Every structure is written in structure tokens, then in C-alpha cells.
Chain A
């Protein structure tokens, strides 16, 4: 019994990081109705940035967070101008295809540079022991950082001028333009923030699990599940969706082989889509 509770708690910890990853996807969707298919690869980008900065340059792993955040933002703005800008206002398939194409290029470059070898960043942090169970320090710290960043994103969206403008663009782009908001610039900023979140979540996941250039697909799919659980275009709901997914993983892992967790996750994904077509915590128009 205690084992299940420990597994659930660890599920919540990892789920918070999944939630952070999904926030990046859902933020972009919420602001401009674009599904960013490079999302998984941007998560992997965060992992490799962590690897390079920590192993090659010898930075302490958690200090790579600020450069990953800033680098992710820059990459996201570039992604907007390359793959998204001309697709705004066109059928959704167009941006799906253009981000898919960029994704293939990035994966090609990644496999060219690093192959598909497994990488690992070791983080040694003291764990927290409760009874017979020990929660890894890296899981606790990653969850805490994910929750912190999610909280900061919430404050950014609701308390700052720029954040409110982003929500306004999400809610009604034409009206935003009419009150003097440079909406195109804001769309670029939104993609920048979305990719920065993906990168940071990748950096945090990189401190938990080993990864390859091709790890992105799995995390992209997890982000979709979390987004559906949390409601499309609702970043705060995404965090709750992440926790829900983490809880589910924590609940099933003690009982079934690892390969079954994905089957159960996606069965749930389909069930939720049937029952709540807009996600469980559906967005109400402005993030």
C-alpha cells in the first residue's frame, strides 16, 4: 500500500514537469490556433543544451535553466518567422505541415550530429526519505522548478502589460490590433515563450531520465495527452493535466509492465476526447 502511495507521489512530481512541457504547446495553440509539431524536438533541444552546457562546459546542471530559457525564446521567435508567420489565418493543415517540415530538418541535423546514442546527465542530489521509500532529489527539485515556472507564467499572463496583451490577442486578435497592440510581434513572442517552456521542461526532464535525439516523439505525445486533459489553450489547466497524467502513470506502474503505460495513457486520451471534446478544463477564450 505504501508502495503505491510512494509511486503516486513520484508520479505527481514527474507529472508537474510533463505539465510544464505541455504548457508550451498549449500556449501557442491558445494564442494562434497553431499546433507546433516541433514541440517534442524543442524539448529534446533543452535536453541537449543541458548536456552540452553541463558536460562540455562544466556548468552545474540547474544553472543551465536561464540560458535554456533565453535560447528557447530566441529559437521560438525564429521558428515563428520561418514556419508560422505566413500560415496565420490559413487552414490549420498549413502550419501543421510547415512545423512538421521544420521538425524533420531539426531531427535530421540532430541525428547527423549525435546519432541516436543514449545520453545521460547525472545529477547527484540527496533524496528525501519517508519510511522505506526515498524520493530522488532530482525529481523533487524538477517538480518544484516546474511549479515555480508555471506560477511565474501565470503571473506574467495576468499581471503584466505584455501578458495581458498576449491574452487579448488570444481572445480577439482584431480587437487587439484596434487598441494598438502590435499583434504580429505578440504572436512571435507567444511562440518564443512556448518554445522556451518546451526547452526548460526538456532541460528538467534531462536531469531525470536518459534521452536520445529521437526522444521528442514520446514527450510530444505526452504533451498532447496533457493538453487534452488540461483543456486546449489553457496553460494553467495544462499543469493540472500534467499532474493527472503523472498520477495515472504512478498508479499503473506498480502493476503493469512499463510498455503498457503508454497503451493505458492513450486509451485514456481517446476516452477523454470522446467525453470532453474540448478537454476537461476547457479554455474560455483568453488563456
Chain B
């Protein structure tokens, strides 16, 4: 068994005529929290979309659990244990919180011990238990992000991929969500996190990639990256 649960190799992707990713490679190691940081438009979201298959990679490979899943349709990747919490949450806004969570467990792999997982998710996010009959679109931004993460967890994923965790959320909410992610990681979940807030990402992750212009600019342990002068200047504002 390889150390990396998810491996992206020389990925190229884009939208119609515009190439965004130019041969990007990264790994998400088992049981670790890997962060992807970078400026707006660097290609972070595109990377995740190409991994999940909501856009088709032009070239390169996505290997998940030792298998090449580059060309697999998104729903089959979900069925193999890849859960993406997309940018902007993308909830089923007209449906209730409970229905959103139920749909999170749609694929056959997650049909076992549904009740227990729902219990676990509610203990992770007690707010959602209170709001289970409310329509997801009527929740606050933080609560919606909780639903999005909870929906991802309901599939019993091997890897949880989160795009822009902190987008549009109050700092105190982001802090709570990060604590939750840490807890999930300590329970053995592999997490790949895209985050614009470099401070936050480096404080939390085990390993980080810095993306610039569709390529890996640099990578390493968070402490090493935080000490690099160009990172401090460009991303940490120091």
C-alpha cells in the first residue's frame, strides 16, 4: 500500500480554450491533512475540479487508492470514497438539512451503518441536529458550510476534499470548523484542503503545496514554508 491515497501527476486542465493547469503534481498522504494554498486564479479550484472530475483533465493522471481514476465520471469517484465539498457549498438549497445529509450517503458504499454516521455527524455539528427540518438555503453561511462538510462525511469517504473552507465565513466560525477538521484527521481521515487564507492553512496542515500560475511553486512542511522569505512576503504579508 502506497503512502499516498491520492496522487495527481502532471495534470493539465482548463476551460474551453483557456489552459489553467500546466503539469501540476501533488500527493495527499493517508491520514494527513494536505493543504493547497495560492493566490486567486492560481488554479486551486480547477485542480480540485479536475481531481473530482467535474471538469475533464486534458493530460496527466489522477490516481486514487492505487487506481487510475482520471477519466472516471464524478459519481463513480464519489462511490469509491472521494468526497468533494465544493466552493460555495453547492447545497441542495431547496431541500431540508436532513435530506441533504441523506443524499450525501447516496452511493452504495455508504448505505451501511447510516444511523450511526448520522449520529456522529450530528455530534460533530450539533447545530445541524437542531436545524434538520429546515431548508438548507435558509441557513447562515457557517451552517451551510457545516451541512456541506457533513454531507461529504455522510458518504463515509476515504478522502475529504474541501474547497475554500473559509470563504465568506466569520473568523470564529472558521476556527470552529478547523478544530472539527483536526478532530476528523486525528480519527484517521485523509483531508485535502484548498484555502486562500495561508495563515490558517499553514497553522493546521501536515504538508502544503503552494500553487502559482497553474503549477506547484513550492511545497513542504508548513514550518519550512512559513520561514521562506518569498512565501512570507507574497502570502503572509510579513
Q: Which residues of A contact B (CB under 8 A)?
A: 161, 164-165, 167-168, 171-172, 174-183, 284-286
A178 x B95 contact (CB < 8 A): no
Contact status B94-A181, CB under 8 Å: no
- Distance in Å: Cβ of A125 to nearest Cβ of chain B: 41
B52 at the interface (CB under 8 A from A): yes
Chain B residues whose CB sits within 8 angstroms of the CB of A175 once the complex forms: 86, 90-92
Q: Which listed residue, A171, A180, A183, A286, touches B107 by the CB 8 Å rule? A: A180
Q: How far is the CB of A228 from chain B (nearest CB, A)?
A: 20
How distant is the Cα of A172 from the Cα of B100 in the complex, in angstroms?
Answer: 11
Residues B75-95 near A (CB distance < 8 A): 75-76, 78-79, 83-84, 86, 90-95
Alpha-carbon separation in the docked complex, A161 to B105 (Å): 10
Q: Which residue of B lies closest to A186 (CB)?
A: B75
Residue on B nearest A184 in the bound complex, by CB: B73
* B54, A167: Cβ atoms closer than 8 Å: no
Q: A181-B75, A181-B106 are contacts. A172–B90 as well, Cβ < 8 Å? A: yes
Give the contacting residue for A171; candidates B54, B84, B95; CB below 8 A. B95
The answer to whether the Cβ of B214 comes within 8 Å of any Cβ in the partner chain is no
Cross-chain pairs A/B with CB under 8 angstroms, 9 sampled: A164-B102, A174-B90, A177-B75, A178-B52, A178-B75, A180-B78, A180-B107, A181-B103, A285-B137
Task: State whether B92 touches A172 (Cβ < 8 A).
Answer: yes
- What is the CA–CA distance of A182 and B75 in the complex, to the nearest angstrom? 6
By beta carbon, the residue of chain B nearest A182 is: B75
Please report the C-alpha to C-alpha distance between residue A174 and residue B84 in the assembled complex, in whole angstroms.
11
A174-B54, A179-B106, A180-B75 as given contacts; A286 in contact with B86, CB under 8 Å: no
Which residues of chain A are near B75, meaning CB under 8 Å?
177-183
The range of chain B's interface size is 20 to 34
- Given pairs A172-B92, A178-B84, 18 additional interface contacts (CB within 8 A): A164-B95, A164-B99, A167-B94, A167-B95, A168-B95, A171-B95, A172-B93, A174-B86, A175-B86, A177-B54, A178-B74, A179-B106, A180-B75, A181-B75, A181-B103, A181-B106, A183-B75, A286-B92
Number of residue pairs A-B, CB distance < 8 angstroms: 76
Complex Cα–Cα for A103 and B74 (A): 33
Which chain B residues in 45-89 approach chain A with CB under 8 Å? 52, 54, 73-76, 78-79, 83-84, 86
Whether a CB of chain A sits under 8 angstroms from the CB of B215 is no
Q: How far is the CA of A87 from the CA of B36 in the complex (A)?
A: 36
Cα-based distance from A179 to B95 in the complex (angstroms): 15
Taking the closest CB of chain A, its distance from the CB of B152, in whole angstroms, is 8
B104 within 8 A of A: yes
Query: How many Å lie between the Cα of A122 and that of B5 in the bound state?
Result: 67
The answer, yes or no, to whether B155 is at the interface (CB within 8 Å) is yes
A180: chain B residues at CB < 8 Å are: 75-76, 78-79, 106-107, 110, 155
Residues A178 and B92 in contact, CB atoms below 8 Å apart: no
Q: Which residues of B approach A to under 8 Å, CB–CB?
A: 52, 54, 73-76, 78-79, 83-84, 86, 90-95, 99, 102-104, 106-107, 110, 137, 151, 155
Residues of A within 8 A of B92 (CB): 167-168, 171-172, 175-176, 286
Q: How far is the CA of A182 from the CA of B77 in the complex (A)?
A: 11
**A286/B155 in contact, CB under 8 A:** no
Give every chain A residue within 8 A of B84 (Cβ-Cβ). 178
Q: How far is the CA of A177 from the CA of B155 in the complex (A)?
A: 13
Judging by beta carbons under 8 Å apart, are B86 and A178 in contact? yes
**Listed residue (A175, A177, A178, A183) with the most chain B CB atoms within 10 angstroms of its CB:** A178
If A167-B92, A172-B93, A284-B94 touch, whether A178 touches B103 (CB-CB below 8 Å) is no
Within the complex, the shortest CB–CB distance from A286 to chain B, in Å, comes to 4
Contact partners of B110 in chain A: CB under 8 A = 180
Q: How far is the CB of A150 from chain B (nearest CB, A)?
A: 20
Asked if A171 contacts B94 (CB within 8 A), the reply is: yes
Q: Is the CB of B151 within 8 A of A179?
A: yes
A161 touches B94 (CB 8 A): no
A280–B78 CA distance with the chains assembled, in angstroms: 38
- List chain A residues, Cβ under 8 A from B91: 172, 175
* Bound: A126/B53 CA distance, A: 60
On chain B, the residues within 8 Å of A178 by CB distance are: 52, 54, 74-75, 78, 83-84, 86, 90
A214 to B213, CA, bound (A): 60
